């Protein structure tokens, strides 16, 4: 083992878990660093607090006077907690979070100073943020972007900085972040779902989307990770022979959490709890050194913020524990990658989960309405939903026999399949009153009991109904959840609006009773959406053929998948709902295509560097040792030396073959990159990177990994899979 690797390994093995102190009762520490509703209620005049609540509820702007009062209370609270700075905290289209700290401190006269923070600093800021991706929306001569306070997500203190969640928009009003379209989509689904929920209960005034994400990740010892430029620069290993022992024995999944990892988790959870992130579940995942964390679900916008915040926090806490946390969807070949299931539902301000079957036939009709409309929305927009989770890193995972396929389908379980079939078949044409009663009693009325038995959960499905929520499982672990959540809530909003329109026509023009009208529309939807329902094995080859027959898309890579984002149908969808305008849609598409190109380009460069600067020189070194050995044998045995040196000679020639393959592979790859780089149209360039550059990675890697097996372990400079995956 090379001294560098040996030292790193020794250091990581000798590390003790970092001590953490924890509050015995998390409920008491929960949200201590959040300026949430209770902190606001305690520190604001009653009327101001009420005004703020109304503004949040009704999406109204907050006037300057109220803003000043809130800013002042926020500042006093933050100072009392030891904060010195404030920042508008936002999520630009890099996928990460952004912050620029300003001190509360201000001078008032020579030698005099105070802490100041006013309404205008709370409500709006103009960061010099011209270097964030904008897809051409912001020309440099007009490079202004604004951050504006999002009062629906509470401010919090991170370190010694008061962070105020904000949206990020261009001077001309277009969204430059993830949050703005998400908020618009949530508003659209609120409007549409409230109108439909009011068929069943006139008291409903608001419907909120909920999101419960499950974050998977790897923990790698920091000193081992440092020996891998690929992990450091791309977040994944671009080469490395698989370890003799991987996940074959399934002995990591749900196993005892290693003590260093557990100490990291406890530290992370303590910090999360203070920040109001309701973390709940932790466990080992399938691959060695892979783990998962899940919180209790929350309102979708807050849940998205909390996931972004958590990912930030994880990097910081991991550092303290001498870990590097990997969010990449496929950091290691040959073992499972990481995802981020998005559990989603809709619930009313009267406390009803619209995707939970109720106790009465009528509430079950409500359940079926939202259930079937969601299925129809996915059916009509499967390609857009696929696009919402497309990224260079998630391409490694989708369809890779461990994660859902790139084909979107909905799993609802055998029992609900039966319910839908019965509903579809009960009557042709108009329902008679008698049939309607039978229907309610026999089918709709029994759903709660049926669901209790419905435990068969098909893990191969990308979009599964799991009792009282849908679970979007194809989301990647690096993703900002805002992207899939914007799409899902938009398509459901559009669908519910159409449904309402159709049902109203039957009620107003045809004189049908409300539930009869609803049932009639739903029955048609079941027929129209059949193709998206799939209960079988999503990993199988048969499904690919079957899906093709059904006309479902199977966009296997990101450039292919992204195209639907600028389809006229998509533009109409977003414009009608007010989620995004054409400029915003096109800009985002452009940014994502560019990002794909850059990711593959960086990987190509890093792989080329490692192959030529690490692997080949090491191979040559070892080959020279062998050559020296063969020469010595020749000295001793003369012309008979062949008998004694045959293995060495074979090794020498094998090494040469691999060196030659790596070298020519890298040269070809560089040439293909050059050809791709001069393509003007970005989507064509992305396709060239996908089809011409990326496949060469495998060839280069193949020879590198073979050399890893041939070469003296003492010389090999890069931490091996067995070291990266089995030390914690």
- Rank residues 373 and 458 by Cβ distance to Mg ion and give the closer one: 458
Q: Which one among 260, 306, 469, 588 touches ligand ADP, defined by CB under 6 A?
A: 469
Distance CA 355, CA 344 (A): 9
Residue 435 φ/ψ, nearest 5 degrees: -60, -35
Which span (25-33, 211-219, 393-401, 690-698) binds ligand ADP, by CB under 6 A?
A: 211-219
Residue with tokens 């010099």: 128
Q: What is the SS3 assignment for 91?
A: coil
Based on the shown chain and the rule CB under 6 A, indicate whether residue 212 belongs to the binding site for ligand ADP: yes
Binding footprint of ligand ADP, residue count (CB under 6 A): 15
Q: Tell me how far, at minimum, the Cβ of 342 lies from Mg ion, in Å.
A: 9
SS (H, E, C) 694-719: HHHHHHHHHHHHHHHHHCCCCCCCCC
Contacts of 459 (CB under 8 A, 6+ apart): 473
Strands 112-115 and 124-125 come out as unpaired
Check if the beta carbon of residue 384 is closer than 8 Å to that of residue 564. yes
658 with 619: CB under 8 angstroms? yes
The residue of the chain with the least Cβ separation from Mg ion equals 341
Does the protein bind Mg ion through residue 694 (CB under 5 A)? no
CA proximity to 1, closest of 726, 722, 656? 722
Q: Is the dihedral of CA 631, 632, 636, 641 positive or negative?
A: negative
Cβ-based nearer residue to Mg ion, 240 or 538: 538
DSSP H or E run through 655: helix 641-677
**Burial label, 400 (beta-carbon count in 10 A; 0-12, 13-18, 19+):** middle
Residues 118-137 that bind Mg ion (CB under 5 A): none
| Among Mg ion, ligand ADP, none, residue 399 binds (CB under 5-8 Å by kind) | none
- Checking DSSP bridges between strand 207-221 and strand 298-299, what pairing results, if any? antiparallel
CA–CA dist 368, 648 (Å, integer)? 71
> According to CB under 6 A, which residues from 448 to 467 bind ligand ADP?
466
Binder of ligand ADP out of 214, 216, 329, 590 (CB under 6 A): 214
Least separation, in Å, of the C-beta of 152 and ligand ADP? Answer: 17
Question: Cα dihedral sign for 173, 176, 178, 179?
Answer: negative
Minimum Å distance from CB 6 to ligand ADP? 39
Stretch that binds Mg ion, among 57-65, 162-170, 212-220, 318-326 (CB under 5 A): 212-220
Check binding of 294 to ligand ADP (CB under 6 A). Answer: yes
- Footprint on residues 570-589 left by ligand ADP (CB under 6 A): none
Cα 474 from Cα 407, distance rounded (Å): 10
| Element at 217 (helix H, strand E) | strand 207-221
Query: Under DSSP, is residue 661 helix (H, G, I), strand (E, B) or coil?
Result: helix
Q: Near ligand ADP by CB under 6 A, which window of 96-104, 343-351, 478-486, 711-719?
A: 343-351
The reply on whether position 297 binds ligand ADP by CB under 6 A is: yes
**CB 302, min distance to Mg ion, A:** 19
DSSP 3-state of 214: strand
Instruction: Out of 152, 210, 289, 409, point to the residue binding ligand ADP (CB under 6 A).
Output: 210
Query: With CB cut-offs between 5 and 8 Å by kind, which of Mg ion, ligand ADP, none does residue 296 bind?
Result: ligand ADP
294 binding partner (options Mg ion, ligand ADP, none; Cβ < 5 to 8 Å by kind): ligand ADP
Quick one: 461 or 558, whose CB is closer to ligand ADP? 461
| Closest to ligand ADP by CB, 242 or 468 | 468
Locus of tokens 């004694």:
644
642-661 mask for ligand ADP (x: CB under 6 A)? Answer: --------------------
The residue (of 227 and 347) whose beta carbon lies closer to ligand ADP is 347
Shortest Å, Cβ 214 to ligand ADP: 6
| C-alpha count within 13 angstroms, C-beta hemisphere, residue 285 | 21
* Residue placing its CB nearer to ligand ADP in the complex, 352 or 597: 352
Residue 341 within binding range of Mg ion, rule CB under 5 A: yes
Q: Which residue is nearest to ligand ADP (CB)?
A: 212
Judged by CB under 6 A, which of 138, 341, 440, 701 binds ligand ADP? 341
Residue 397 partner contact from Mg ion, ligand ADP, none using kind-dependent CB cut-offs of 5 to 8 Å: none
Give the H/E segment covering residue 220: strand 207-221
What residues have CB less than 8 Å from 87, skipping those under 6 apart? 99, 100, 101, 102, 161, 162, 163, 164
201: left (phi over 0), alpha (psi -120 to 50) or beta: beta
CB count in 10 Å sphere of residue 59: 12
Q: Using the rule CB under 6 A, which residue among 353, 531, 537, 581 binds ligand ADP? A: 353
By CB under 5 A, residue 228 contacts Mg ion: no
Q: Of ligand ADP, Mg ion, none, which one does residue 345 interact with (CB within 5 to 8 Å by kind)? A: ligand ADP
Contact residues: Mg ion, CB under 5 A: 214, 341
Contact residues: ligand ADP, CB under 6 A: 210-212, 214, 294, 296-297, 341, 343-345, 353, 466, 468-469
């Amino acid at each position: 083992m090379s001294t560098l690797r040996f030292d790193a390994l020794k250091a990581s093995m000798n590390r003790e878990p970092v001590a953490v102190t924890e509050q015995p009762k998390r409920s008491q520490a929960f949200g201590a660093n959040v300026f949430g509703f209770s902190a606001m209620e305690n520190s604001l005049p009653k009327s101001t607090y009420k005004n703020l609540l109304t503004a949040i509820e009704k999406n109204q702007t907050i006037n300057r006077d109220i803003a000043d009062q809130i800013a002042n209370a926020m500042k006093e609270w933050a100072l009392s907690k030891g904060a010195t700075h404030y920042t508008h905290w936002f999520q630009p289209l890099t996928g990460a979070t952004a912050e620029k700290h300003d001190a509360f401190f201000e001078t008032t006269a020579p030698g005099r100073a105070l802490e100041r923070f006013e309404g205008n600093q709370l409500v709006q800021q103009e960061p010099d943020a011209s270097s964030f991706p904008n897809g051409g929306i912001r020309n440099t001569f007009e490079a202004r972007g604004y951050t504006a306070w999002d009062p629906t997500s509470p401010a919090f203190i991170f370190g010694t900085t008061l962070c105020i969640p904000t949206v990020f928009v261009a001077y001309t009003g277009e969204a430059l972040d993830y949050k703005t379209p998400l908020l618009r989509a949530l508003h659209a689904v609120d409007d549409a779902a409230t109108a439909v929920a009011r068929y069943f209960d006139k008291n409903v005034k608001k419907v909120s989307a909920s999101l419960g994400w499950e974050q998977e990740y790897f923990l790698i010892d920091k000193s081992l990770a440092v020996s891998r430029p690929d992990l450091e620069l791309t977040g994944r290993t671009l080469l490395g022979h698989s370890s003799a022992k991987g996940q074959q024995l399934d002995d990591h999944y749900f196993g005892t959490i290693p003590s260093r990892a557990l100490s990291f988790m406890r530290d992370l959870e303590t910090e999360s709890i203070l920040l109001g992130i309701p973390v709940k579940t932790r466990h080992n995942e399938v691959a060695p050194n892979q783990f998962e964390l899940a919180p209790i679900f929350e309102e979708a916008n807050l849940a998205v913020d909390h996931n972004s915040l958590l990912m930030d926090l994880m990097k910081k806490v991991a550092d303290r524990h001498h870990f590097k946390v990997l969010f990449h969807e496929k950091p290691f070949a040959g073992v499972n990658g990481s995802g981020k299931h998005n559990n989603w539902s809709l619930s009313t301000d009267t406390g009803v989960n619209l995707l939970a079957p109720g106790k009465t036939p009528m509430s079950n009709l409500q359940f079926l309405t939202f259930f079937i409309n969601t299925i129809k929305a996915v059916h009509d927009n499967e390609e857009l939903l696929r696009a919402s989770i497309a990224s260079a890193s998630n391409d490694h995972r989708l369809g890779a026999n461990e994660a859902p396929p790139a084909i979107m389908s909905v799993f609802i379980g055998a029992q609900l399949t039966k319910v839908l079939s019965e509903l579809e078949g009960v009557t042709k044409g108009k329902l008679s009153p008698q049939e309607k009663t039978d229907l309610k009693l026999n089918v709709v009325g029994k759903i709660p009991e049926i669901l209790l038995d419905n435990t068969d959960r098909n893990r191969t499905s990308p979009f599964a109904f799991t009792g009282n929520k849908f679970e979007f499982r194809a989301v990647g672990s690096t993703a900002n959840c805002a992207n899939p959540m914007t799409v899902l809530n938009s398509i459901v909003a559009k669908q519910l609006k159409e449904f309402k329109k159709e049902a109203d026509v039957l009620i107003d023009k045809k004189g049908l009773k409300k539930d009869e009208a609803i049932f009639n529309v739903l029955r048609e939807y079941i027929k129209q959406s059949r193709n998206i329902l799939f209960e079988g094995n999503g990993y199988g080859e048969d499904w690919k053929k079957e899906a093709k027959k059904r006309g479902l898309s199977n966009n296997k890579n990101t450039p292919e998948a992204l195209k639907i984002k600028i389809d006229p149908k998509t533009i109409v969808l977003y414009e009608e709902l007010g989620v995004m305008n054409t400029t915003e849609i096109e800009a985002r598409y452009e940014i994502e295509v560019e990002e794909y190109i850059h990711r593959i380009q960086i990987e190509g460069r890093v792989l080329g560097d490692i192959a030529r600067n690490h692997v080949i020189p090491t191979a040559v070194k070892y080959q020279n040792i062998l050559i020296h050995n063969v020469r010595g044998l020749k000295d001793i045995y003369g012309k008979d030396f062949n008998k004694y040196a045959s293995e060495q000679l074979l090794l020498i020639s094998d090494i040469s073959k691999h060196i030659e393959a790596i070298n020519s592979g890298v040269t070809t790859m560089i040439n293909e990159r050059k050809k791709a780089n001069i393509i003007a149209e970005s989507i064509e360039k992305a396709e060239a990177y996908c089809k011409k550059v990326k496949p060469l990675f495998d060839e280069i890697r193949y020879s590198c990994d073979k050399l890893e097996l041939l070469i003296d372990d003492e010389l090999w400079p890069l931490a091996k899979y067995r070291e990266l995956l089995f030390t914690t």
